[in-house]
Structure 1
Amino acid sequence: MSANPNSKAAPVAAASAPGASASKAPQLRRVLGLAALVMFGLSYMAPVTVFTTFGTVTEITDGHLAAAYVVALVTMIFTALSYAHLSRVIPAAGSAYSYAQKTFGGHLGFVTGWTLMLDYLFLPMINFLLVGLYMNSAFPAIPAWVFALVSIVVVLAFIAMGVKFVGKSSGVIVAMAVAIIVVFVALSISYLVGNPAPSVLAPFEFGSDGASPIFAGAAVLALSFLGFDAVSTLSEDARDAQRNIPRAIVITTVLGGVIFIVVAWVGGMVFPDWHSFVALDTAGIELVEKVGGPVLSAIFIAVFVAGCIGSAMTSQVSVSRIIYAMGRDGLLPRAFGKLHPRFGTPVLAAVSVSAVSLLALVLSLEMAATMISFGALFAFSMVNLSVIKHFFWDSKLRGAAAVVKYLLLPLVGFALTIWLWTSLAPTSFIVGLWWMAVGIIFLAFRTKGFRQAPPKLTFG
C-alpha cells in the first residue's frame, strides 16, 4: 500500500481442508536467498510510504518527523531482533500469530491473530482513501470520495472475476517508486545548495512539548515497518531459513528505517514551515513539486495511485481468502466459505471486505493509519513477550548473554512498543479494543468458556 504499498504478507487460509492427505500435501519450494528476502521485505515496507503520512505526522510532531522515524526505528530494531530469535526456533509461516500461539497457547494466540485481522481488514481501505485524496489533488473539481468509491467498485469487480495481473506489475511499480525517491533526494540536495536552510539537526530535535509528540508520531509510523513481519512469513520459501530469515528481518528493518529517516530529514529541510502546506494529507505532493516541479509531481501521483490500486487489490485478495477459509471451516457462517460458481472466487468474502472499505469515504488518513498501527503494535508487543516466555521462562536459558538476548532486550522492545501503542489516538483504542472484545467473546463461545482447544488459523 502506499501507506504500506504492498501491505502485509499475503495471509492465506485457516485449517487445512477436510480430508486432505498430509502425505500428499504440496511443499513450498525453498528458492529465496538472503538478497531476495531483503528485497521482498523492502518492497512490502515500500519506501514511498514516507510521503503518505508526511503531513499528518509532521503536524503531530510539530515539524520533527525525522525524530519520530528515529524513535520508530529504534523500537523496531528491538522488535526485529525478537522476530529473528523466534524465526530460528519456530520456522512456520505465520509471524506474530504463530509465535504467540506456540509460546502462550492457542487462546492468546487466537486473540493475537484476531487483532491482526483488524490490520488486514483496514489495509485495503487506507489504499482507497489515498486514491481519493491524491486523485482529488490532481482533479480538485471531483470530490475525493468519488475516486475512492470508484476504486472500491473496480477492485471488487476485478477480484470477483479472478483477474491476476497485479503481481506482474507490482515489481515495476516498486522500482518506479524507488526511482522517484532517489530523484527526490538528489533534487532536494540540489535545492538546499542554492537556498538557505535551517540547522541540519532541526528535524531531529524534540519540540517544546518534549518527547510526547515524537512518540505519538512514531506510533502512527509503526505501519511503515510491517515489511519485516512479512519476511517472517517466508520461512517455508527460504533457503537456509534458520540463518537467512533472521538476518533478512534485521537488515530489512535497518535499511527501510534509514531510507525513511533520510527522506524525512531532507523533506524537513526543504519544507521547514510545515504550517504552509495546503493539505496535510497530500503534503507529499507539495514536497515533490517544490523540488521537482509539476512534471515530477504528476509522475509521482501516477505511480502513487497505481501502487495504491495494486496494493488494495492484493491486500483485499489476502483478507478475502482468510474470511473464505474461516467460513469454509465453520468459524464464520458457511456462506462466506462458498466460491462463485462461474468465477471460482469467494465473492461474498470480497464483498464484505469492500463493505469495510467504505469507511474510506468518511475516515481521515490519520485515523485510518492509527487503526492499522493499533493491531501492528499489539502484535509486536506479543512477539517481544514470546521471546521471554520461550527462551528465558520455558527453556530456562541463563548466563549473561542469554539474560541480555532473551530477557533485557525483549523487555526494552516490549516497553517501547507499549509506549507507542498507548500513544495512539483514543479513538483507535475505542475501535481496537471493541474488536478485541468481539474476538474474545467469539472465542469464549467456540471453546465453551475457554475449556476446549481454540480454533487455529494459518497465515502463510
Structure 2
Amino acid sequence: MNTKIRASNSSASIDSVEGDHSGNTATFRKSLGIPSLVLFGLAYMVPLAVFTTYGLVTQMTKGNMPTAYLFTLAAMLLTAYSYGRMVQAHPYSGSVYTYTRKTFGAYFGFMAGWTLLLDYIFLPLLSYLLIGIYMAEYFPAIPAYVWVLGSILLVTFLNLVGIESVNRVNLVLVVAQLAFIVVFVTLSIQRFSAQASDVSLMLPFHNSEFSLPIVFSGAAVLCLSFLGFDAVSTMAEEARNPRYRIPTAIMAVTLIGGVLFVIVAYFAQLVFPEWKTFVDADSASVDVMRRVGGEMLVTAFTATYVAGCFASAMVSQASVSRVLFAMGRDGALPRVFGVLMTKKRVPVTAVLVVSLLSMIALVITLDTVANMISFGALFAFSAVNLAVIKHYLVDERKTGLKNFVLYGLIPALGFLSTVWLWTSLSHMSFVIGLCWMALGLVVLLSVTQMFRVKLPELQMAEK
C-alpha cells in the first residue's frame, strides 16, 4: 500500500513506500516490526520507572502505591485503545497532533500538538537529570553537569545515526532492566520469607490508612510511567503495516509495562513497609535495595537504572523529533523541521533542536520537569479519547450497538479517567501547563497573523 501526502501550498508529494531508497527527504524508512515497536515503547517507559517517584508516591498514598498503579493502568489501557483506533484512521507521524488536527481542525490540532511538546520535550530532561543525580552521587569527584552533557551528546549521535541503531542499544538496556527486576523480585521473596513476620501479603494493596482520595492523587503522578505507548504512535511512518502493528504494540507496551510496575511496587513495599521512616523520599529506592540485597544490589540498581534513563532519553528524543517533523512538514512550524536528511532519513534539524533544549537540564529541578510532563501527557490522552468519538461516530457516522461500544463508550470512559487524573494534579502543574498553552496561542496567532491566514492543510489520501 502506498500512502500519498500532499500539502496544499507545496507541490511536493510524499510517497511512503517500503524499501524506497530514493533521495526524497520527506520519507521515513519503514524498518520497524512489532518486536521493535514494543522494545521502543518499553525503553521509553523504563521498566524501572517505579523507582523514579517511588518515595514520593509511597508517601502520597501512605503505603498503597501498588493500588495506585492498578488504577492508573486501568485508565491507561482505555486510552491506549483510543490511540490504536486513531492510528488505524491516520497512520502518520505526529501522534496527538495529527489525530486532533484531522479530527477537530488545524487550530485545535496545533494547540494539541503544542501541549504535547510540553510532555515530549521535557521527558528527555527528566532522564538527563536523573543520570546526573545518580552518577554524581556515585562518582562525587565528577560534577553532575558533566554526566548530563555527555549523555546529551551521545544520545544525539545515536539518533542522528538512525532509529535502527537506537533499537539495537535499547535491546541491551531493556533486557538488563528486566533481568534486574527478576533478581530484585527473587531476593525480595527470600527476604520476606526469612523474616519472622505475620504481615499480610495484601498489605501493599490495602493498609489501615487506605483511602481513595490519596490513592487517586498518587495515580495521577504515576501516569508519567506510561508515556511509552504514546511514543510508539509517533513511529507510524517507520513501521511496516502500521494500522495493525502500531495498535498491537501500543496495547502490548501498556499492559507489559503496567504489570511490571505493579509487581515491582508490590515487592518493594512488601519488604519495606515502613514508608514513614524514609530519610529522603527522592532516595527511598536506595533504602529498599539496601534492605533487599545490601550494597551489592544498590550498586547493580544504580548502574541498571542509569542505563534505563539513558534508553528513555534516546527514544524520547526520537519521538519528539517526529512530532516536530510532522508539524514542520505541515507548515505549523518552520518547514526546516519537516525535512529528512542523511542516508538513514532522519529529521536532523528536529533532533538537534531537541538536544539544545535538553541543555535546560543543567538549570531546572526535577519537580518542575515532572509537573510539566504530567500536564502535557494528560491533556494529550484526553484529546485522543475525544478524537475517537468525533472521528468514528460523528464524521464516519458509524451506528449500531457494537460501534457505540467500540467508538463511544470505551473512549468516553478513557476520557473521564484521564480528566479524573488531571484534576488530581498539583496546582503547580496547572500553572506551568496553562502558561505553556498561552505561549502556544501566541505562536499560533503569529503564524496565522491573528487568524487572517490559515495554517497549511495537509491532505492525506491513500492509494
Please tell me the TM-score bracket, short chain as reference.
0.7 to 0.9
2:237 aligned counterpart, secondary structure: coil
Write the letter of the residue equivalent to 1:263: V
1:203 aligned counterpart, secondary structure: coil
| 1:155-190 Cα distance to aligned partner (Å, 9 max, x none) | 455578788576653321211111001110111111
Aligned: 1:119 with 2:119: yes
Indicate if the aligned counterparts of 1:32 and 1:238 stay in contact, CA closer than 8 A.
yes
Matches within 5 A, 1:143-292: 146-147=143-144, 149-158=145-154, 168-195=168-195, 196=197, 198-205=199-206, 208=209, 210-292=211-293
Residue number in structure 2 paired with 1:356 = 360
Residue number in structure 1 paired with 2:81 = 81
Deviation at 1:154, TM superposition (A): 2.4
Indicate if the aligned counterparts of 1:61 and 1:68 stay in contact, CA closer than 8 A.
yes
Deviation at 1:208, TM superposition (A): 4.4
Indicate if the aligned counterparts of 2:43 and 2:308 stay in contact, CA closer than 8 A.
no
Residue number in structure 2 paired with 1:61 = 61
Write the letter of the residue equivalent to 1:183: V
CA distance in 2, matches of 1:386, 1:330: 22
Indicate if the aligned counterparts of 2:156 and 2:352 stay in contact, CA closer than 8 A.
no
Residue number in structure 2 paired with 1:104 = 104
Q: Return closer, same or farther for 1:106/1:299 CA change in 2, 3 Å cut-off.
A: same
Matches within 5 A, 1:318-397: 319=320, 349=353, 352-360=356-364, 363=365, 365-397=366-398
Write the letter of the residue equivalent to 1:404: V
Indicate if the aligned counterparts of 1:47 and 1:178 stay in contact, CA closer than 8 A.
yes
Indicate if the aligned counterparts of 1:96 and 1:382 stay in contact, CA closer than 8 A.
yes
Indicate if the aligned counterparts of 2:180 and 2:301 stay in contact, CA closer than 8 A.
yes
Deviation at 1:350, TM superposition (A): 5.5
1:202 aligned counterpart, secondary structure: coil
Normalised to the residue count of structure 1, the TM-score between the two structures is: 0.83
Q: Return closer, same or farther for 1:27/1:381 CA change in 2, 3 Å cut-off.
A: same
CA distance in 2, matches of 1:329, 1:238: 20
Q: Return closer, same or farther for 1:447/1:67 CA change in 2, 3 Å cut-off.
A: same
Q: Return closer, same or farther for 1:129/1:257 CA change in 2, 3 Å cut-off.
A: same
Deviation at 1:452, TM superposition (A): 2.9
CA distance in 2, matches of 1:126, 1:67: 25
The runs of 5 or more residues in structure 2 that have no matched partner are 1-6, 16-21, 340-346
Q: Return closer, same or farther for 1:235/1:316 CA change in 2, 3 Å cut-off.
A: closer
Q: Return closer, same or farther for 1:303/1:160 CA change in 2, 3 Å cut-off.
A: closer
CA distance in 1, matches of 2:425, 2:113: 20
Q: Return closer, same or farther for 1:310/1:33 CA change in 2, 3 Å cut-off.
A: closer
CA distance in 1, matches of 2:405, 2:329: 45
Residue number in structure 2 paired with 1:11 = none
Root-mean-square deviation (CA), in Å?
3.5
Question: Which deviates the most, 177-186 or 247-256?
Answer: 247-256
Indicate if the aligned counterparts of 2:77 and 2:251 stay in contact, CA closer than 8 A.
yes
How many residue pairs get matched?
433
Aligned: 1:445 with 2:446: yes
Deviation at 1:227, TM superposition (A): 1.6
| 1:383-434 Cα distance to aligned partner (Å, 9 max, x none) | 0000111111222222212222212221111111011112111111111110
CA distance in 2, matches of 1:160, 1:29: 19
CA distance in 1, matches of 2:11, 2:73: 45
Write the letter of the residue equivalent to 1:429: F
